Amino acid sequence: MRVTLDPEALHGPFVREIEAISEQNLLKCNQCGRCSAGCPVVEEMDLLPNQIIRLAQLGLETVIDSQTPWMCASCLMCQSRCPKGVDLPRVMEAVRQIALRRGDSRVLAGRVDGSLLASAPQMAVIGALRRGER
Amino acid sequence: MTSTERVYGYFPGCTLATTAVDYDASGRAVAAALDLELREVPDWNCCGASFPLSAENVMNFIAPARTLIAAQREGQDLATLCAVCFHVLKRSDSYLRTHPEAADRLNAFVTEGDYDGRVKVRHLLGILRDDLGWEVVRRHVAAPLQGLRAAPYYGCLLLRPEAEMELDNPEAPKVLHNLLLALGAEPVGFARQAECCGSTLLVSAPEANQRLSTAVIESARSAGAMIVVTACPLCKFNLDRAQEGLPAAERLPVAYFTQAMAAAFGLAEHAGPVSPLQAAA
């Protein structure tokens, strides 16, 4: 992937917004890749978890177009294994929040399969909609 | 009348009150058998089913905080069965204790009182291990689960993050193993025992969820398990759903740990999918 770096963006509003919502210092990540190595959902993602935080560090707003934050199940495997103490699920949440605020809802109650809604545990429906619907 | 020394507030949560009633009933039955009194917290509401991961909106903590405040008024530890309720309530307590500004803002919006951060949120597994001990559990076993090769499935949120959940080591958990040993079963470790089943991807990405749950089932099956034992109603649902296309004889049954306990305690009406295996053993 070819990217253009903008020195201004490294400390720009997008980085600040992610850091404010996630309460994480993105530059703590040194790209060891342990998050991606342990992630059980990695095969469903278009960008690896470590690539998400790398793009975010660089202030590249393309992260909000990725499917990865929406495939993250917030299972905390990466969080519990990160040698730098980065809480990556919170960074994923920040990306989702920014996408949602820009009008990009990925989970809509009206679009969920009706038979699934009728049988699924309440916790799954509530949890999914709280995460993904504006 | 026997005097009960161990009294806990009890939070069933949305799913145990509706779709996972067998988890709730078996949990209450085995607790009663062990002289643990579970007093349902008055006027509880859903915990929110997901721990708020963004710092900005303190409103996301209102749902768990209301229940914590209700439990605080009762003055007992707050016991849970659902792994996600345990996760949300325990971490909300931790967050509000370590973020006094957020707690102040929240308290301004909750009319029932202020949360003072003194509720101990517990999971029944921790209560069994730490308050009773495995020896006491063993003494209640009337029908040991001999020959039952059971895969203890921890999933994701019951254990992580370790420092906040304070239940077990997520990389090498033992609590379900040790419970199964106390019940006379044969715990079978497997590679995906603490990996996610897909969780709420069930709703947002059902195909991905299916693949994740299938991987968990296949991992337990290849380790030689006859049954999977869980503490989470969403894990149970996802693992069952992943096997819907299989002939009945090829499905790996999934039971709540409380159903395994009920089977071993001789409470057959609460033993769920453990019953037929116990009869066959």
| C-alpha–C-alpha distance, residues B209 and B18, integer Å | 22
Q: Is residue B88 located within the same domain as residue B47?
A: yes
Using an 8 Å CB-CB cutoff, list chain B residues near A23: 55
Strand order across the B6-11 sheet: B36-40, B6-11, B78-80, B121-123
B134 domain-assigned: no
Q: Is residue B178 located within the same domain as residue B67?
A: no
In this predicted model, what pLDDT tens digit does every residue of B37-54 receive, in sequence order? 999 999 999 999 999 998
Greatest pairwise CA separation for chain B in angstroms: 58
B131 domain-assigned: no
- Least confident window among A6-10, B174-178, B214-218: A6-10
Domain of residue B44 covers: 6-124
Share of chain B above pLDDT 70, in %: 98
Mutate to test the interface with A, among B201, B209, B230, B254 (most CBs of A within 10 A): B201
B148 domain-assigned: yes
Quickly tell me which residue has 């990925």 as its tokens.
A106
| Banded model confidence at residue A133, pLDDT cuts 50, 70, 90 | low
Provide the b/e sequence for B197-217 (b: ≥16 CB within 10 Å).
Answer: bbbbbbbbbbebbbbbbbbbb
Is the pLDDT confidence value at B9 over 60? yes
In this predicted model, what pLDDT tens digit does every residue of B82-125 receive, in sequence order? 999 999 999 999 999 999 999 999 999 888 889 998 899 999 99
B129 domain-assigned: no
| C-alpha–C-alpha distance, residues B199 and B213, integer Å | 9
Q: Residue type at B116? A: D
Higher pLDDT, B59 or B252: B252
What value does the mean pLDDT take over residues B144-148?
97
B123: β partners: B80
Q: Is residue B21 located within the same domain as residue B150?
A: no
User: So what's the pLDDT on residue A130?
Assistant: 84
In this predicted model, what pLDDT tens digit does every residue of A14-63 receive, in sequence order? 999 999 999 999 999 999 999 999 999 999 999 999 999 999 999 999 99
Considering only CB atoms, A122 lies closest to which of B18, B56, B156, namely B18
| C-alpha–C-alpha distance, residues B187 and B177, integer Å | 6
- Count of CB contacts below 8 A, A vs B? 138
Any CB–CB contact under 8 A between A124 and chain B? yes
User: So what's the pLDDT on residue B281?
Assistant: 63
Any CB–CB contact under 8 A between A20 and chain B? yes
Q: What is the separation of C-alpha A121 from the centre of its chain, rounded to a whole number of angstroms?
A: 24
Using an 8 Å CB-CB cutoff, list chain A residues near B244: none
Any CB–CB contact under 8 A between A68 and chain B? no
> Which of B73, B99, B124 is at the close of a domain?
B124
CB B252 within 8 Å of CB B224: no
B130 domain-assigned: no
> Which of B124, B156, B176 is at the close of a domain?
B124
The interface pTM score, or ipTM, of the predicted complex is: 0.93
In this predicted model, what pLDDT tens digit does every residue of B16-28 receive, in sequence order? 999 999 999 999 9
Looking up residue B113, the CATH number of its domain turns out to be: 1.20.1050.140
| C-alpha–C-alpha distance, residues A96 and B198, integer Å | 18
| C-alpha–C-alpha distance, residues A134 and B236, integer Å | 28
Is the pLDDT confidence value at B1 over 50? no
CB B174 within 8 Å of CB B167: no
Q: Sign of dihedral through CA atoms B101, B105, B108, B112?
A: negative
Number of domains making up chain B? 2
Provide the b/e sequence for B75-113 (b: ≥16 CB within 10 Å).
Answer: ebbbbbbbbbbbbbbbbbbbbbeebeeebeebbeeeeee
| C-alpha–C-alpha distance, residues B169 and B246, integer Å | 34
**Three-class SS string for A82-109?**
CCCCCCHHHHHHHHHHHHHHCCCCCCCH
Helix (H) or strand (E) holding B10: strand B6-11
- Contact at CB, B162 and A113, closer than 8 angstroms: no
Contacts 24+ apart (CB under 8 A), B126-129: B126/B166, B126/B167, B126/B175, B127/B6, B127/B8, B127/B36, B127/B77, B127/B79, B128/B34, B128/B179, B129/B175, B129/B178, B129/B179
Looking up residue B276, the CATH number of its domain turns out to be: 3.40.50.11810
Q: Is residue B73 located within the same domain as residue B147?
A: no
In this predicted model, what pLDDT tens digit does every residue of A32-45 receive, in sequence order? 999 999 999 999 99
